[in-house]
Amino acid sequence: MFKKSSPVATIASKKAVGDAAEDRALAHLRAGGLRLVERNYRVAAGPSRRAGEVDLILRDRDGTLVFAEVRARSSSAHGGAAASVTHAKQRRLVYAAQRYLQRFAALPACRFDVVAIDGERIEWIRAAFDLSD
């Protein structure tokens, strides 16, 4: 007889998978010349806003601040990892980025990238969306 996974074990397993995907994405971005600034930047929910998180915040060689979302799927079936970055998810990322940018006296150039991992395939989508999307 098989035992069902406990909710705590399932959450821990998902976290481990997510952490491994972020590690893989970070290595890929570093190989592309980016430098890590912060990992898992979180903001609390605001008035009529859900909480937000940015997986990776990095600096590109030209000084651009990069807010990167990492998405991983075991395969590209059902649209794949990139397709899972919905408009609602983009809004939460933008909200978190806006909160992060409040620490700067002069706003740096910035962009939103997505690192989509489908099985063994990794795709870095630069400027995947912007504030107007």
The 10s digit of each residue's pLDDT in 110-132 is 999 999 999 999 999 999 998 76
The pLDDT assigned to 132 comes to 67
Element (H, E) at 57: strand 52-59
Residues of the chain with pLDDT under 50: 1
Amino acid, single-letter form, for residue 99: R
The residue length of the chain stands at 133
Topology at the third CATH level for domain 7-129? Trna Endonuclease; Chain: A, domain 1 (3.40.1350)
